[in-house]
Structure 1
Amino acid sequence: MKKLIAIDLDGTLLSSNIDISAENIQAIQTAQQAGHIVMICSGRAPEDIKTVIDKTPLQCPVAGSNGTMVIADGKLLSQISINKDIVKNVAEVLNQKEYPFKIYSNKGIFVASTWSERMISFLDKNQEVLNHLTSKEYKLMTEQPKESDSIKIFDELGAVLAIEDLTIQKFFIPTISGKEELISSLEKFEGISITTSGPFNIEIMDTNGHKGNGIRVMAEYFNIPIENTVAIGDNFNDVPMLETAGLSIAMGNGDPAVKEMADVVTLTNNENGVAHAINKYILEAK
Structure 2
Amino acid sequence: MYKMIAIDLDGTLLTDELTISPNTAATIQKAIRMGTVVTIATGRMFSSAKLIAEQLGIHAPLITYQGAMIRIAGEAEALYERPVSPDIAEKLLTIAREKNIHLQVYQDDILYGAAETDKLIAYANAVQVPYTIEPDLIALAQKGFTKLLFIDEPEVLDPLQKELQLLFGESAYIAKSKRTYLEVTHPEANKGSALFFLANELGIDRSEIIGIGDNHNDAELLKAAGFGIAMGNAVQEVKDMADYISLSNNDEGVMHAIDKFILEPANAGKILEGSEEHAQLGRKKL
The alignment's TM-score, normalised by the length of structure 1, stands at 0.83
Alignment size in residue pairs: 259
Moved more, 101-110 or 275-284: 101-110
Q: Confirm or deny that 1:171 pairs with 2:148.
A: yes
Structure number having the greater helix percentage: 2
Contact 1:68 1:213 in 2 (8 A): no
Once the two structures are superposed, the pairs formed by residues 48-59 of structure 1 within 5 Å of their partners are: 48-59=48-59
**Partners in 2 of 1:194 and 1:150 — Cα distance?**
25
* Aligned mate of 1:282, from 259, 262, 265: 262
Q: In structure 2, give the amino acid aligned to 1:246.
A: G
Aligned ranges 1:53-68 → 2 under 5 Å: 53-68=53-68
The percentage of counterpart residues that share the same residue type is: 30
Q: Which residue of 2 aligns with 1:247?
A: 227
Larger CA Rg, structure 1 vs 2 = 2
Q: Deviations over 1:65-93 (max 9, x none)?
A: 01110123635211011110110011111
1:42-75 Cα shifts (integer Å, max 9, x gaps) = 0100011112333444444311001110123635
Match for residue 194 of structure 1 among 154, 174, 182: 174
Q: Please state if 1:268 is matched with 2:248.
A: yes
Instruction: Identify the match of residue 227 of structure 1 among 204, 207, 212.
Output: 207
* Structure 2: tracts of 5 or more residues without a match: 269-286
Structure 2 counterpart of 1:67, which letter? G
Q: Does 1:13 align with 2:16?
A: no
1:22 aligns with 22
Alpha-carbon distance between aligned partners in 1 of 2:256 and 2:96, rounded to the nearest angstrom: 41
Q: 1:26 to 1:174 in 2, by over 3 A?
A: same
Q: CA RMSD in A?
A: 2.3
Partners of 1:248 and 1:262 within 8 A in 2? yes
Q: In structure 2, the residue corresponding to 1:10 is in which secondary structure?
A: coil
Contact 2:65 2:146 in 1 (8 A): yes
* Distance change (3 Å), C-alpha of 1:161 and 1:34: same
CA distance in 2, matches of 1:198, 1:241: 16
**Structure 1: 5+ residue stretches without partners:** 120-138
Residue 115 of structure 1: how far off its partner (Å):
2.8
Shift in CA distance, 240/103, structure 1 to aligned 2, threshold 3 Å: same
Q: 1:141 is matched with which residue? A: 122
Distance 1:50 1:84, change over 3 A: same
Alpha-carbon spacing, 1:201–1:231, altered in 2? closer, same or farther (3 Å): same
> In the TM superposition, what is the alpha-carbon distance from 1:185 to its structure 2 partner?
2.9
